Amino acid sequence: MGLFDSILNNNKNQNTAQKPKENESVTFSFVRLPESLEELKALPEAKMDTPYKTAALSLLALCAFAADENIGKEMLNSLKGPAPLTPMQISFIKDRFRDSKLVPFSYFKGAKPENNYTPDVPFTVTIFSNPYSFQNENYATLHLRSGGADNPRQFRLRLKPSTGVWYLDEQMILVGIRPAQKDDPWS
C-alpha cells in the first residue's frame, strides 16, 4: 500500500460511473411523461450514472419542449449540466418543432405514421450502442429508432469524470420523419 492510497481511495468526488459496453441495448418505460423539472428529477434515471439514462431523460425533455418551451428548456438545461443550451441551440430546437411537434414522440414504442405517432402506454423507448459509440474518451453516441424513419438517430452524451454523471452534449433526433397520417395529403 502506498503512502497516498488511503487518501486517494477515499476521494468523495471519485468517479463511480460504470464503463458502458458496446452493442448494448437498454429499454426504459415511463408510466407518464414528466411535466416539470421536479418530476424529471424524481425519476430513478435522474441519477444519470449511465449515458443511456441521460439519453432517455433527454427524449422526455424534448417531448416537454414540444408542449411547453420554457419547461422543456429548463429540463434540457438541467440535463446539459455545466454547459446549458446556447441561444443557437434553442433556436434550432424551436425551428425543428415549426412543422411538427410529434418528432420526439415517434421514438416511443407503438408510435408510427398510421396512428399519428400515438405511443403505447407505458411510454417505452430502447436506446442502444454500436461498436463506434464509445470511440472518444468521456463521450458516448447512443442510438434510438423512430417509427417514422428508416435509420436510427443519435444523442451524444458527455461524462463528467469527477462526478461520474453523464450529461447531454448534443441531440440529433429532431430531424424529419414521415408525415403522420392526419397530415399526409396522400393517405
Q: What pLDDT digit, counting tens, does each position of 87-114 carry?
A: 999 999 999 998 889 999 999 999 999 9
In this predicted structure, the answer to whether residue 34 has a pLDDT above a threshold of 70 is: yes
Q: Does some domain include residue 93?
A: yes
pLDDT at residue 7, as a whole number: 53
* The three three-digit cell numbers of residue 91, written as one number: 433556436
pLDDT interval class at 6 (50, 70, 90): low
Establish if 114 belongs to a structural domain.
yes
- Per the domain annotation, does 40 fall within a domain? yes
Query: Quick one: cell of 152?
Result: 436510427
| Distance (Å, whole) CA 77 – CA 71 | 10
In a domain, 128, yes or no: yes
Instruction: Record the pTM.
Output: 0.88
Decide: residue 121, CB within 10 A, 0-12 exposed, 13-18 middle, 19+ buried.
middle
Q: Domain of residue 52: give its range.
A: 24-183
Count the domains in the chain: 1
Q: How confident is the model at residue 12 (pLDDT cuts 50, 70, 90)?
A: very low
Q: Which three cell numbers stand for residue 86?
A: 446556447
- Whether residue 130 lies inside any domain: the answer is yes
DSSP H or E stretch at residue 72: helix 69-80
- Structural domain contains residue 19: no
Inside any domain, residue 101: yes
What are the residue ranges of helices labelled H in 81-136? Answer: 87-96
Name, in order, each residue with C-beta under 8 angstroms of 53's C-beta and a sequence gap of 6 or more. 28, 45, 46, 47, 166
Say if 163 falls within a structural domain: yes
